Amino acid sequence: AQSVTQPDIHITVSEGASLELRCNYSYGATPYLFWYVQSPGQGLQLLLKYFSGDTLVQGIKGFEAEFKRSQSSFNLRKPSVHWSDAAEYFCAVGAPSGGSYIPTFGRGTSLIVHP
């Protein structure tokens, strides 16, 4: 079965600083990988996804992530964080099912942005 580990429960950065959120996955085949963001009381919004091809994936809001098969990682990065980026971030790995996939989520990393 697939699983995701997000080792950092909280990350604090200053506005304008760079950001890297860590994600490690466990899956027996080539994974589908995702990053989602959740603001308080809201549902999840997809930031970016990886299915195949270029291992550096660009997403919305200036985020990017890099798939590293050798490290089983899919870390999320942003060069300059804005105060509005403060939220909960979830990494997910997708398992194929019925022509689609079912994401399994990590426990999340809470991003705190200091002015």
List of residues contacting another protein (CB under 8 A): 4, 6, 32, 34, 36, 41-46, 49, 51, 90, 92, 96-108
- CB-wise, 28 or 115, nearer to another protein? 28
Q: What is the CB-side half-sphere exposure of residue 45 using CA atoms within 13 A? A: 14
- CB-wise, 30 or 80, nearer to another protein? 30
DSSP state of 107: -
Least Å from the CB of residue 51 to another protein: 5
Using an 8 Å Cβ cutoff, are 72 and 24 in contact?
A: yes
Least Å from the CB of residue 16 to another protein: 28
Least Å from the CB of residue 64 to another protein: 17
| Angle, vertex CA 112, rays to CA 110 and CA 113, nearest 5 | 150
CA 7 to chain centre: 12
- CB-wise, 28 or 53, nearer to another protein? 53
